Amino acid sequence: MTHNHGHDHAAHGLPQSMDDLLELDAAVLQGYWTAALDWVREAAAPRSPARLLDLGAGTGTGALGLAERFPGATVTAVDVEHDALERLRGKAKERGLADRVRTVEADLDATWPDLGPLDLTWASMSLHHLADPGAALREALAVTRPGGMIAVAEFPEPLRFLPDDLGTGPAGFEDRVLGPVNAAHVEVMPTLGSAWAPRLADAGWNVTAERAFPIDLDPPAHPDAGRYAQVWFARLSHGFADRIEPGDRATLAALLDADGPHSLLHRADLHIRGTRIVTLARRD
């Protein structure tokens, strides 16, 4: 669920909306997205799922990827953000998928729309945004056909982009910034970074598999990797500058300065690394 998108702007007018971040994530981390969605397809294919749900679809990387992998299925993409769903609809039309991908604008913390019956649900980096993700998992279970599946993709900790020593201040900048910022995020999203297999089991799902997908791009090959890092750091720090030490705030400003010598947009030492975990479960 792409809550609190905001359409702020980073240094020198570069966008930092959540929609932009989602689009860059799909492009720069294409290898992860391909591997994760292929794994879900292999697990679900024997049952030939016909009705699919992308829960917190954002701009549609998961919804469109599923529609392409299950050519006989229809996909419902649910999100709270109108602009994200507009982007999704535009991409579906461009790819010839408009007749099989429908969008539903809904705040799942308020009302659960009529989405069933379902054969497969995909929830990528969305459940931690919900006030009560357990309730959402129970709602999804209730409208899933027996034998149907859910795939939850989340991350145990944020991605890393930078070397330990930037040469522009004390070593360990990324650790020092991520610590307080992550703590602040967990205050408002307490399930962020938690394990999802136990949560699925508590909601009544039968957990069948879990797989960690390592991300290790050194250097990242995609030409938008620097922009991805720039938008990531701009989003990560937005609203939490007071939790970062003054010296690190200055380093962050230098990294976000599109025209500066230390700009994230032009660094040759970016190394994108981290892990995303996909958990599969079935309704018995």
Helix (H), strand (E), coil (C) string for 176-211: HHHHHHHHHHHHHCCCCCCCCHHHHHHCCCEEEEEE
For residues 202 and 161, what is the distance between their CA atoms, to the nearest angstrom? 35
Give the per-residue pLDDT at 187. Answer: 87
29: domain CATH number is: 3.40.50.150
Identify the domain containing residue 66 by its residue range.
Answer: 11-159+191-218+273-282
Q: Is residue 134 part of a domain?
A: yes
The full 3-state SS of 215-230, as one line of letters, equals EEECCCCCCCHHHHHH
Q: Is residue 229 part of a domain?
A: no
Give the per-residue pLDDT at 16. Answer: 57
Burial label, 138 (beta-carbon count in 10 A; 0-12, 13-18, 19+): middle
Q: Is residue 127 part of a domain?
A: yes
Of the CA atoms within 13 Å of residue 97, those in its CB half-sphere come to: 27
CB atoms within 10 A of CB 150: 25
Give the per-residue pLDDT at 184. Answer: 84
Per the structure, the count of domains in the chain is 1
Taking only the tens of pLDDT, the chain with its 284 residues reads 444 333 333 333 444 588 999 999 999 999 999 999 999 999 999 999 999 999 999 999 999 999 999 999 999 999 999 999 999 999 999 999 999 999 999 999 998 899 989 999 999 999 999 999 999 999 999 999 999 999 999 999 999 999 998 877 788 999 998 888 888 888 889 999 999 999 999 999 999 999 999 999 999 999 999 999 999 999 877 777 788 889 999 999 999 999 999 999 999 999 999 999 999 999 99
Q: Is residue 210 part of a domain?
A: yes
Q: Is residue 263 part of a domain?
A: no
Q: Is residue 238 part of a domain?
A: no
For residues 99 and 101, what is the distance between their CA atoms, to the nearest angstrom? 6
Q: Is residue 237 part of a domain?
A: no
Q: Which residues have C-beta within 8 Å of that of residue 226, sequence separation ≥ 6?
A: 263, 264, 265, 266, 267, 270
Give the per-residue pLDDT at 186. Answer: 84
For residues 5 and 47, what is the distance between their CA atoms, to the nearest angstrom? 36
Q: Is residue 149 part of a domain?
A: yes
For residues 18 and 59, what is the distance between their CA atoms, to the nearest angstrom? 9
Identify the sign of the CA torsion 220, 222, 227, 228. Answer: negative
Q: How far is CA 200 from the centre of its chain?
A: 18
Give this prediction's pTM: 0.92
4 near 79, Cβ under 8 Å? no
